[in-house]
Amino acid sequence: MFRLTNKVAVVTGAGSGIGAAIATLFGRQDAHVVALDVSGSAAAATADGIVAAGGSAEPLACDVADAEAVSRAFERIAASRRRVDILVNNAGIAHVGTIEQTTEADLDRLYRVNVKGVYLCARAAVRLMLDQGGGVILNMASIASLVGVADRFAYSMTKGAVLTMTMSIAIDYVKQHIRCNCICPARIHTPFVDAYVARHYAGREQEILRQLSAYQPIGRMGTPEEVAYLALYLCSDEAAFVTGQAYPIDGGVLVA
């Protein structure tokens, strides 16, 4: 079950964190993984790890917010692989602050990556999937697209857009055999979290990490690998009847 044999999977933001975990797991499940990241070296590190473990992968440097760069990337994939069976729109950036603490530049920066980036990559993938007779798109939303999260004004705005884009793509292309779902994680313990805490709370790292863990009733943050397993199900043929859905993976936040 859950094999991705002969499938081409493009994972954005694959250089670290959740994206790297998804790309690595998909590689283990026999997909050919295109590890796409704004950092070419980070993309290469993920792809090299997949290949070293016996899988098939290639790195591709791309800024998902740059329309021309996205077009070139998907043209390259189409030329070499002839298809894109799976797109995981994982690339994203974070921001902490209320509306008063969010500058216009902050809002534009988050919109550019978290919303426009998803739009550009999904549009490029849909065009290929229509020609090949179907495919799967999985977007990374957030628990912040389902409930209010304090001090996350701009981030919540972008993830709400990801949720509604997911529903729109699902309903517009269901007859063309393109499925589209999204995952809504609560706090996931990634290198970004550790770096943010170290930068802003020097000397209080363990206290802040405990606070971040306590937000989830289960008492801890999730792991990138746990998100990856949910992504594998939603992108596999076993989920062929699932489209237009938002899947929380939140340690009990929504039931608290």
Q: How far, in Å, CA of 249 to CA of 164, rounded?
A: 18
Query: Which residues are registered as beta bridge partners of 60?
Result: 36
Q: Count CB neighbours of 129 within 10 A.
A: 24
Is residue 155 part of the annotated active site? The answer reads: yes
Cα-atom radius of gyration of the chain, to the nearest Å? 17
Which residue type occupies 96? V
Block residue for tokens 């990337």: 73
Q: Where are the alpha helices (DSSP H) in the chain?
A: 17-28, 40-52, 67-81, 104-110, 117-132, 153-173, 191-200, 205-214, 224-235
Q: Which of 155, 173, 215, 247 is catalytic?
A: 155
Q: How far, in Å, CA of 182 to CA of 204, rounded?
A: 34
Q: Count CB neighbours of 21 within 10 A.
A: 24
Q: How far, in Å, CA of 117 to CA of 112, rounded?
A: 6
Block residue for tokens 């295109």: 34
Angle between helices 205-214 and 191-200 (to 10 degrees): 130
34 Cβ contact partners less than 8 Å away, ≥ 6 residues apart: 8, 9, 10, 11, 57, 58, 60, 77, 81
Q: How far, in Å, CA of 20 to CA of 129, rounded?
A: 24
Catalytic residues: 155
